[in-house]
A and B are shown apart, each in its own frame.
Chain A
């Protein structure tokens, strides 16, 4: 009898299990969250050449890069929000590594989001999804598919004079996932785990406030969730090991069984 890992290795080799990338390219022009200008701002991704096979270093090319913990496709740790500041293991360097690999389900909200950029995910959407796909397994990542990652430029933040407009969860949906389904974390294709207008919900920014207050994680700016099956995939999302880090850009990968997406 072969070991589970040997089975996995052979399934990967045969293509029976595929690895897909759910990450945006780190690009200087990729949007970041915009706060009122008197607040501190999220740094954009920047890259400066150290040398490029030239007088600064004849045989090698390398760059210095800079960015925020929350730039590009990134992971939110509980210490990112005031509600999670005093929890144990709330920073990225303290989170046990087994939390970075686990089951993932995808709730497809792309049709509703196409119709209404301010679409809000409610508990009844989740239970309806479960009616079709079965209950959300405990300790799973729940990703909200909106196809928002297919948007670019101004359409991505969709910023107007009254703030950004993009889909996200209601406080009730997040409470349901935490309290009734004991999820590991919640992820989105938009710039944050909260809706663009999430500051006007109660509590403001409910996904951030409630998830992190309960020690759960966030993933945002995910790319191409339409390539994931509703259930049965395994997500690999390991942030950089930054001392007291509240989050980190990362490469988010998923393993899926061939032709299940």
Chain B
């Protein structure tokens, strides 16, 4: 078993905050396939299209037949830990702060042997499951974990360093008025979040979620993502206490370009969905980036909740989807800008949600509880991309296969 994580002590005001460091980032282009799979929590290796040989480490030509057709496929992560050691000295600034660090060799059932990180609960010679996780540099790395869950397994320091686990962390949910806010707050509480802040705009206007949020013991902060002064004020006061930020603020009205005939709602969509994200990032981003090395409750993740139609537009929600695409594009820039600090940007893509604006749409629709569950799982697994619900998963599959086919399917002329 792993030692259970202890609640962090109050910060010593006389000590300098630990500066962010990160593990080595350099990879070949071929090796980035591992990162792409880790971003979604998949274990994938290159498999030769001609002879079928499974490859590790990633390469440009098959180790058996020299074919250059090496597509990444999801494969079995099971194997045996055949050797292990502790690294006790290193010149890497990131690992120096975290020694000793356990590594080992795993013989995969599929053939290749893999040098990887090793969870503290793995016995030498025992069966293990390899996880493909993003490290703090945002690159895919492999860590051997026990085949069966062990007590407090997620608290192993090496595994936790590759996650965005909410346990003992303080979380800001940016918009109390979005119907999913209570479900998110509740799931975070269950996942061990030390404190949940909820941003609340326009307190002069009542809303139904207030009572549920109050019963969950969250702390309300005046925050309106469309109001720069309110965002800056909150970041100035609470920016250093936010370890995970979940931006659930959303403005949505149905309709494509011609259905509306004006730019009124589109402006609101851009103000909330795109500029709101930008304001939050400009205000909270620097403080969070400065605290990614700050111990048990270090700043760890930035979560965006985006419509799956940000991948490819659906004209029934055409203008809204365009604002979501803009937010998605911005999130990619943020990934690059947060990268050197090791702050992870996790995008959660949702299909139609169970709310007033999707009421005329047929099921399946994503409930707030399902969304909250996937957000927590994504954080725990340290993901960058989460697809929530069947519609989002299906769209992501099609997007990966052929974006043009997906676009054509979503833009039929109205004849079924």
Contact = CB atoms under 8 A, between A and B. Distances in A.
A29 B204 contact: yes
A28 B230 contact: yes
Interface string B286-309: 000000000000000000000000
A152 B67 CA distance: 73
A153 B202 CA distance: 8
B206 A29 contact: no
Contact of A46 (B204, B226, B264): B226
A245 interface: no
A46 B205 contact: no
Contacts of A157: 204-205
B228 to A, nearest CB: 6
Contact of B206 (A38, A40, A48, A154): A154
A75 interface: no
B175 interface: no
B119 to A, nearest CB: 48
Contacts, number: 47
Interface string B304-324: 000000000000000000000
Contacts of A40: 262, 264-265
Interface in B134-185: none
Given A154-B203, A159-B206, A28 B265 contact: no
B227 interface: yes
Interface of B is mostly: loop
A119 interface: no
A31 B205 CA distance: 8
Contacts of B354: none
In the complex, which range does the number of interface residues on chain A fall in?
20 to 34
B358 to A, nearest CB: 14
A186 interface: no
A38 B360 CA distance: 14
B224 interface: yes
A48 B203 contact: no
A44 interface: yes
Contacts of B229: 28, 47
A7 interface: no
B224 A28 contact: yes
Interface of B: 202-206, 222, 224, 226-230, 253, 262, 264-265, 268, 356
Given A40-B264, A154-B204, 20 more contacts: A28-B229, A28-B230, A29-B202, A29-B203, A29-B227, A31-B202, A31-B205, A34-B205, A41-B268, A44-B227, A46-B227, A46-B228, A47-B228, A47-B229, A49-B228, A153-B204, A154-B203, A156-B204, A157-B204, A159-B204
